Amino acid sequence: MATDSYEVRPIGWVESPLVDPASAPLQGDEGAPDAWVVLEPAVLAGLQGLEPGHDVIVLTWLDRASRNVLAVHPRGDLSRPERGVFSTRSPDRPNPIGLHRVTIRSIEGRRILVSHLEAVDQTPVLDLKPVLEAISER
Amino acid sequence: MATDSYEVRPIGWVESPLVDPASAPLQGDEGAPDAWVVLEPAVLAGLQGLEPGHDVIVLTWLDRASRNVLAVHPRGDLSRPERGVFSTRSPDRPNPIGLHRVTIRSIEGRRILVSHLEAVDQTPVLDLKPVLEAISER
């Protein structure tokens, strides 16, 4: 049984021209702007090996989401029937962790410029992971 | 600044024949077995809309990982130079959240059988998300 809880501690945060969640694109490939991921100084050593051009998955904590929502109208469209949140990418869900596939454009110290990130300014960042390459290249 | 912390609460857990982390495959496409994701009864409504055949991303909490590790030898191979954890899929990292792309094979009540899950038995599950389809089908 998994009845414990666990504490996530942000490794950084987003700096983005997106400030209003209501006007943010729903997905990164729907017009999200480039944005900065700024790492906490304490985790900077974790960045070694990442370079411009690499594709990474940014995990965020969607801190403005509602955690007690279990069903939503997909994409907020009231004409579509409600579905369980686990069958959607709704930010409202029990653990509001966002996944964002981006490309690193540049790295300046602990600031990482990434492409098309659909997260609003000051969103906490939990993790960065490389997109997996073919098995032979791991 | 993102200096707060947040609490994640498992929505369920893994039931798998994999019990020893040392013998688990490093990635799901490297021979991981089928496994069950068992949801907590309280979140069962979130499952509506998911069906056998759907591809989903399972987010887990890798509760046996070391959170104070910032650099590792890739895939535990000491002949390879150390790299920052954010450029690897090491379970050891500040927030040990696992991403696992799987296919749903069957759903029996709150038990979901999924393909090739590289997580050991009793690993907490944090979220399920659909793999995004082409933009026209969202």
Distance from CA of B22 to the nearest CA of A (A): 18
CB–CB contact B99 A40 (8 Å): no
Q: Does residue B23 carry a pLDDT above 90?
A: no
| Three-state SS sequence of chain A | CCCCCEEECCCEEEECCCCCHHHCCCCHHHCCCCEEEEECHHHHHHHCCCCCCCEEEEEEECCCCCCCCCEECHHHCCCCCCEEHHHCCCCCCCCCEEEEEEEEEEEECCEEEECCCCCCCCCEEEEEEECCCCHHHC
Region B124-130 average pLDDT: 97
CB–CB contact B8 A6 (8 Å): yes
Reading chain A (138 residues) residue by residue, the pLDDT tens digits are: 445 899 999 999 999 999 987 766 666 676 789 999 999 999 999 999 999 999 999 999 999 999 999 999 987 889 989 999 999 999 999 999 999 999 999 999 999 999 999 999 999 999 999 998 655 554
Please give the Cα distance from B6 to A60 (Å, whole number): 11
The pLDDT-based confidence of B64 (bands split at 50, 70, 90) is: very high
Q: For residue B77, what pLDDT is reported?
A: 87
Q: For residue B138, what pLDDT is reported?
A: 47
Query: Which amino acid, residue B98?
Result: G
* Residue of A1, A3, A6 for testing the chain B interface, max B β-carbons within 10 Å: A6
A40 touches chain B (CB under 8 A): yes
Q: Does residue B36 carry a pLDDT above 80?
A: yes
Q: Does residue B137 carry a pLDDT above 60?
A: no
Q: For residue A132, what pLDDT is reported?
A: 80
Q: Buried (b) or exposed (e) across A46-75, using 16+ Cβ within 10 A? A: bbbbbeeebebbbbbbbeebeeebbbbebe
The pLDDT-based confidence of B32 (bands split at 50, 70, 90) is: confident
Counting one residue from chain A and one from chain B, the pairs whose CB atoms sit within 8 A come to: 178
Please give the Cα distance from B36 to A63 (Å, whole number): 29
Residue with tokens 């279990």: A70
Distance from CA of A58 to the nearest CA of B (A): 10
Per the CB < 8 A criterion, the answer to whether B123 and A93 are in contact is no
Name which of B4, B7, B87 is nearest A49 (Cβ-Cβ): B87
CB–CB contact A43 B70 (8 Å): yes
Q: Does residue B74 carry a pLDDT above 60?
A: yes
Q: What is the DSSP letter of B80?
A: S
Residues of chain A above pLDDT 70, percent: 88
Task: Find the Cα–Cα–Cα–Cα dihedral A113, A29, B47, B121, rounded to 10°.
Answer: -40
Q: What are the pLDDT digits (tens) for A58-83?
A: 999 999 999 999 999 987 889 989 99
Q: Does residue B1 carry a pLDDT above 50?
A: no
Residues of chain B above pLDDT 70, percent: 88
